[in-house]
Amino acid sequence: MVDDLTTRIKQLALDAGADLVGVAPIARFDNAPFEVHPRSVFGATRSVIALACRMVRGALKTIEEGNYWQAYNCDSYQYLNEVLAPHMLRKVVVWLEDHGYTSVPFHNPFGAHLGRAVRPDGPSPDAMLSLRVIGCAAGLGELGHSKLFMTPQFGPRQRVYAVLTDAELEPTPLLTEPVCDECGRCVEACPAGAIDPERNVEVLIGDRVFRHAPLDCESCVVVHQGWDPRYSPFLKEDSSRENPPPYFQFLQRRFRHQSICGARGCVRACMDHLETTGRIRKQYRTPMIEGEQWVIEDA
């Protein structure tokens, strides 16, 4: 019965557009702090279903070539977060609901919006969950050195979403074979120097310890959003936060996101390493990185 239900949900999620689906029993979150525990979002949660969707490789490749940024901003941010994820999460949730299970779609949370706890011992709404941790807990992958969620199928290039449900489902075993081999390419290629060389942050999920490097998010966001002229072809001489270049305004208006770094180190260099060393399952005709990665020398 549990097996059958799990098989049907997984197939439904795959048919709705997910690339990978796994299940974490609630016990795998026993070590999670209260404020990031799935039951802080939905108190009756028994299983957490993780759904992973790939970011298309070509959208990263055209930034690697220095030619085209819109595909990445559209596909890997707006489309995945705002179109595909709500669609597939709703499909799974409605199906579960039709079978008597209350289920909650957990989208990509756009920042914390904490209000006051409505009960003395309750969580502060909106409670936050780590989708990377959920991906690990559901057996789909692990945390890379870069802190990104990594799978044997796609390395670091996917996004994870979740359904919290009171259905009891068949757990997916935790991944035991590491994907990340500590090569250090993400550290070297990150323009912001945001990824610490030491991998010493530990997260206990189920009975496995996952490790990643501390990430300097403030340094990352400056480069990620295109404010370092060496890695941003769109800045004008008079550009500033108060006067952003027209292309940034276009990206924000059209895709509600502005990724200019294009994850040069944490995704592109990592992908290149994993693909060329055969550490992920799929191989591609055109390498992710050909020659030196570009830098605007006279910026």
Residue in 86, 184, 229, 233 binding ligand SF4, rule: CB under 6 A: 184
CA 143 to chain centre: 10
59 binds ligand SF4 (CB under 6 A): no
DSSP conformation class of 226: T
- Can residue 136 be called a binding residue for ligand SF4 (CB under 6 A)? no
Contacts of ligand SF4 in 216-245 (CB under 6 A): 220, 223-224
Q: Which is nearer to ligand SF4, 64 or 162 (CB)?
A: 64
159 binding ligand SF4? (CB under 6 A): no
Size of the chain in residues: 299
Applying CB under 6 A, which part among 5-13, 55-63, 192-200, 241-249 lies near ligand SF4? 192-200
State which residue, 133 or 223, has the beta carbon closest to ligand SF4: 223
30-33: long-range contacts, CB 8 A cutoff, minimum separation 24: 31/204, 31/205, 32/133
| Residue 171 CB burial class (10 angstroms; 0-12, 13-18, ≥19) | buried
Burial of 50 (0-12, 13-18, 19+ CB in 10 A): buried
Per rule CB under 6 A, is residue 157 in the interface with ligand SF4? no
Give the contact letters, 244-273, x = binds to ligand SF4 (CB under 6 A), - = no.
-----------------x-xxxx--xx--x
Cross-strand partners of 51: 21, 161
Distance CA 144, CA 224 (A): 19
Nearest to 219 by CA among 210, 228, 230: 228
Q: Residue 55, interface with ligand SF4 (CB under 6 A)?
A: no
Could you say whether residue 152 binds ligand SF4 (CB under 6 A)?
A: no
What is the smallest separation between the CB atom of 219 and ligand SF4, expressed in angstroms?
7
Between CA 29 and CA 32, with CA 30 as vertex, the angle to 5 degrees is 60
Q: At its nearest, how many Å lie between ligand SF4 and the CB of residue 266?
A: 3
Q: How far is the CB of 14 from ligand SF4 (least distance, A)?
A: 26
Residue 103 or 259: the one with the smaller Cβ distance to ligand SF4 is: 259
Q: Which of the ranges 48-56, 69-77, 115-123, 185-193 carries the binding residues for ligand SF4, by CB under 6 A? A: 185-193
141 binds ligand SF4 (CB under 6 A): no
Compute the distance between CA of residue 190 and CA of residue 262 in angstroms, rounded to an integer. 10
Q: What angle do CA 259, 20, 74 make, to 5 degrees?
A: 25
Binding region for ligand SF4 (CB under 6 A) out of 35-43, 72-80, 100-108, 141-149: 141-149
Give the count of residues interacting with ligand SF4 (CB under 6 A): 27
Q: Give the residue with the Cβ less far from ligand SF4, 174 or 270.
A: 270
- In this structure, are residues 204 and 154 in contact, taking their beta carbons and an 8 Å threshold? no
- At residue 35, the 3 state secondary structure works out as helix
Give the interface with ligand SF4 as residue ranges (CB under 6 A): 144-146, 180-186, 190-192, 194-195, 220, 223-224, 261, 263-266, 269-270, 273-274
